[in-house]
Amino acid sequence: MKKLFLILAFVFLINFVSADIENSHGDAFTDSGNPSSVDGVEIVMNRTVLITTIQYSSGTVAGWCYIYNSSKDHVKNATTIVDHCTINFLAEKGETYYIMAGNDGAQYTREDTTAPATFPYLAPDLNFTDSCFTWGLGGGGGCGGVEIYNIKTINTTDAPNITVTLTEPANDFSTTQTEISFLVNSSSSYFNISNATFNVWYSNGTLFNQTINTTLSSVNSSRLNISDFAVGGYIWNAQVCGKNTTDYLCRWALSNNTFNVGFNLTNIVFNTTTYETESETFQANLTASSTPSSLSFLYAGTSYDATLTSLGGDEYFLTSTIDIPSLNSTNNWSFEWTQGGETTRSANRTQSVTNITFDICNSTLTDAYLNFTFKDETSLASINASVTASTFVYYLGSGLENKTLSFSNITNHSSYGFCFRNATQTLNVNYSISYTLSGYQQRTFTEDIALTNSTTNRTLYLLATGDGLFVTFQVINTAEQTISDVYSSVNRSIGGTSTNVGSGYTGADGSITFWLNPNFPHDFIFRAAGYDEYTTTITPTQSSYTITLGGNTTSPIQDFVKGITYSILPSGNYVLNDTTIPFNFTISTSFWDLDEFGFILRNSTDELGRVNSTSGSGGTVNLAVDTGNDTTIRMDYYWIIDGNYSNSTKIWYVISEEGTGWSLKQLFTDLSTFMTSGMFGLDNFGLAVITFMFIFIFTGILSSKYGLNSPSAISGLIFSLVLFFDVGLGIVPNPIGAVDNFPTILIGIVMVGILIKEGLR
> How many helices (DSSP H) and strands (DSSP E) are in the chain?
5, 54
Q: Give 400 or 664: the residue with its C-beta nearer to other proteins.
A: 664
By CB under 8 A, the count of residues binding other proteins is 15
Q: Give 505 or 724: the residue with its C-beta nearer to other proteins.
A: 724
Q: How far is the CB of 687 from other proteins (least distance, A)?
A: 13
Q: Give 674 or 698: the residue with its C-beta nearer to other proteins.
A: 674
Binding residues for other proteins restricted to 637-696, rule: CB under 8 A: 661-664, 666-667, 670-671, 673-674, 676-680
Q: Indicate left, alpha or beta for 551 from its phi (over 0: left) and psi (-120 to 50: alpha).
A: left
Can you tell me the distance from the alpha carbon of 352 to that of 1, in angstroms, rounded to the nearest whole number? 68
Q: Give 513 or 672: the residue with its C-beta nearer to other proteins.
A: 672
Q: How far is the CB of 289 from other proteins (least distance, A)?
A: 24
Q: How far is the CB of 530 from other proteins (least distance, A)?
A: 55
Can you tell me the distance from the alpha carbon of 29 to that of 27, in angstroms, rounded to the nearest whole number? 5
Asked whether the beta carbons of 44 and 78 are under 8 A apart, the reply is: no
Please give the angle made by the CA atoms of 308, 348 and 250, to the nearest 5 degrees: 155
Question: 246, exposed or middle or buried, with CB in 10 Å at 0-12, 13-18, 19+?
Answer: exposed
Binding residues for other proteins restricted to 344-403, rule: CB under 8 A: none
Q: How far is the CB of 725 from other proteins (least distance, A)?
A: 16
Strand-pairing partners, residue 157, are 50
CA distances from 244 to 73, 219, 249, 314, 370 (A): 20, 15, 9, 52, 69
Asked whether the beta carbons of 634 and 649 are under 8 A apart, the reply is: yes
List the beta strands (DSSP E) in 529-616.
534-538, 544-549, 564-569, 574-576, 580-589, 596-602, 607-613
Query: Considering only CA atoms, which of 283, 23, 46 is closest in space to residue 154?
Result: 23
Q: How far is the CB of 529 from other proteins (least distance, A)?
A: 55
Q: Give 679 or 727: the residue with its C-beta nearer to other proteins.
A: 679
Q: How far is the CB of 668 from other proteins (least distance, A)?
A: 9
Q: What is the DSSP string of 7-48?
A: HHHHHHHHHHHHTSPEETTSSSEEE--SS-GGG-EEEEESS-
Asked whether the beta carbons of 530 and 547 are under 8 A apart, the reply is: no
The answer for residues whose C-beta is within 8 angstroms of residue 713's C-beta and 6 or more apart is none
Can you tell me the distance from the alpha carbon of 110 to that of 108, in angstroms, rounded to the nearest whole number? 7
- The alpha carbon of residue 678 and the mean position of all alpha carbons in its chain are separated, in whole angstroms, by 48
Rg (CA), the chain: 43
Q: How far is the CB of 674 from other proteins (least distance, A)?
A: 5
Query: Considering only CA atoms, which of 591, 485, 464, 474 is closest in space to residue 531?
Result: 485
Binding residues for other proteins restricted to 222-261, rule: CB under 8 A: none
Q: Give 313 or 661: the residue with its C-beta nearer to other proteins.
A: 661
Q: How far is the CB of 731 from other proteins (least distance, A)?
A: 13
Q: How far is the CB of 611 from other proteins (least distance, A)?
A: 24
Q: What is the DSSP string of 163-177?
A: EEEEEESPTTEEES-
H helix or E strand, kind and range, residue 665: helix 664-677
Q: How far is the CB of 576 from other proteins (least distance, A)?
A: 13
Q: How far is the CB of 588 from other proteins (least distance, A)?
A: 24
Q: Give 44 or 679: the residue with its C-beta nearer to other proteins.
A: 679
Q: Give 208 or 724: the residue with its C-beta nearer to other proteins.
A: 724
Verify binding: residue 424, other proteins, rule CB under 8 A: no
Q: Give 364 or 677: the residue with its C-beta nearer to other proteins.
A: 677
Q: Give 312 or 681: the residue with its C-beta nearer to other proteins.
A: 681
3-state secondary structure of 590: coil
Which residues of the shown chain bind other proteins in the complex (CB under 8 A)? 661-664, 666-667, 670-671, 673-674, 676-680
